[in-house]
Copies of this chain bind each other. A is one copy, B any other.
Amino acid sequence: MFQQAKQNRIFQDVINQIQEAILQGRLKAGDKLPAERELKEMFHTSRGTLREALRVLEQKGLITIKTGVRGGAFVKAVSTHQVSESLDLLIRYQKLSLEDLAEFREGVEGMVTSLAAGRAKKKDIEHLKYLLKQAKIHLDEGVSHWDDFISIDNALHMALAHITGNLMYQSVLQTVHDNINKYYDKFLTKEEEIMRENYRDLCGIVEAVEDGQAAKARRLAQDHVNRFNRFMQEKEQQHGKL
């Protein structure tokens, strides 16, 4: 039920105090914390203990530390980076399979696209079509522009997440993309036919979103992601276990 209160650890108390200050907005992104030698006085602790606390806060993604004059600990804008990193650890430690991540992505993209279909404004549709145009350009340039094409594909999915107006979907989708893209790179063969198929998918999705057809948009998005996933899993099996 409860976690053991290890309050004997001074550095933990320092971590808590600084973290709370950041989460409550008393310290804002970009703010500079006092120098270590000042902080140590403020917390009535030693420099070593203080530095252990700073290391943890750095690892949590709450601060960055720069050396040199005018250096020090600076408050960071918390981003999805730490979530991605811990997810990456899970995958590398083989607690989480690529299949699970892919299945999760399929579900999330489906929901996102379906919500976007109900909320897209005229300006949003324009932006989606702009991205489609970019995708077409890279498609016409052929398989050498595969990477450009893929990044437009990702941008389009993130644009859909943005249209939902729901930050949670945006963060989660960003994290999933960060992690799964590494494997796409490893397991996806770069063929022009695949680019072509995916381009057709994207056109269909944007059309359904424009027409407000939520169910259709969801289905298309899931199929789209699913095709990617199938290609990848075939390749993965050919490679054998890693």
Give Cα A101 to B168, complex, Å. Answer: 6
| Any B CB within 8 A of the CB of A30 | no
Chain A: residues with Cβ within 8 Å of the partner, total of: 46
A97-113 vs B, CB cutoff 8 Å, 1 = contact: the mask equals: 10011011001101100
Tell whether, in the assembled complex, residue B78 and residue A82 are in contact, meaning their CB atoms are under 8 Å apart.
Answer: no
Tell whether, in the assembled complex, residue A23 and residue B92 are in contact, meaning their CB atoms are under 8 Å apart.
Answer: yes
Give Cα A171 to B80, complex, Å. Answer: 16
Closest to A103 in B: B166
* This chain's copy number in the assembly: 2
| Any B CB within 8 A of the CB of A7 | no
| Any B CB within 8 A of the CB of A52 | yes
20 additional A-B residue pairs with CB within 8 Å, beyond A78-B93, A103-B166: A11-B55, A55-B56, A55-B59, A56-B59, A62-B89, A78-B95, A80-B95, A82-B89, A86-B86, A90-B167, A91-B168, A96-B168, A97-B167, A100-B166, A100-B169, A103-B115, A103-B168, A107-B107, A107-B108, A110-B111
